[in-house]
Amino acid sequence: MTDPLRAPWLGPMRHALEEAVRAPETGDVPVGALVLGPDGSVLGRGRNEREATGDPTAHAEVLAIREAAAQLGEWRLTDCTLVVTLEPCTMCAGAIVLARLDRVVYGAVDEKAGAVGSLWDVVRDRRLNHRPEVIHGVLADECAALLTHFFRDR
């Protein structure tokens, strides 16, 4: 039986996985992300591109957030949702808070660098002015398997 909290996010997470699958083509870690508008439309897409661009900030989440902000013509992504295959790091968690995203949905936990509940919990820190809702574990096994295969093959 599918968890009712996670069920609405299965489709968007599959689309984020499609982005992630493309990242290894350039030697990048397979992480994919989408920013969804209030109506569920895709405003931004991203996949890791650090190796492809030589940009240390080219994480899937940051690229999806940048594209969504450009699409809206607004840096505040109020009422929007970030869907990402791997738990965001501290940089991406900071970008999520600063962009005022309402919700973060992620797949696999990142026990080494996760900043949305595992190693740190930046997005729910009460000292910050914005705290998005967090839904985790959506297609977690599929998201984790993609990463496991990538690093095993390296």
For the chain, the maximum distance between any two Cα atoms, rounded to a whole number of angstroms, is: 43
Sheet holding 81-86, edge to edge: 42-47, 32-36, 81-86, 103-108, 133-136
CA dihedral 5, 7, 8, 9 (to 10 degrees): 90
pTM for the model: 0.96
Q: Which phi and psi angles does 116 have, rounded to 5°? A: -130, 40
Query: What superfamily would CATH give domain 7-147?
Result: Cytidine Deaminase, domain 2 (3.40.140.10)
The answer to whether 143 is annotated as binding is no
Mind listing the pLDDT tens digit of every residue in the chain (154 residues)? Answer: 568 888 999 999 999 999 999 999 999 999 999 999 999 999 999 999 999 999 999 999 999 999 999 999 999 999 999 999 999 999 999 999 999 999 999 999 999 999 999 999 999 999 999 999 999 999 999 999 999 999 998 8
pLDDT > 70 fraction of the chain, expressed in percent and rounded? 99
Q: Is 89 annotated as a binding residue?
A: yes
> What residues does each domain of the chain span?
7-147
- In angstroms, the CA 50 to CA 108 distance is 20
136 is in an annotated binding site: no
Give the active site residue among 18, 19, 51, 61: 61
Q: What's residue 79's pLDDT?
A: 98
Joined tokens for residue 47: 């996949």
**Which residues are within 8 A (CB) of 152 and not within 5 positions of it... i.e. 6 or more apart?**
none
- Confidence at residue 62, expressed as pLDDT on a 0 to 100 scale: 98
- 19: annotated active-site residue: no
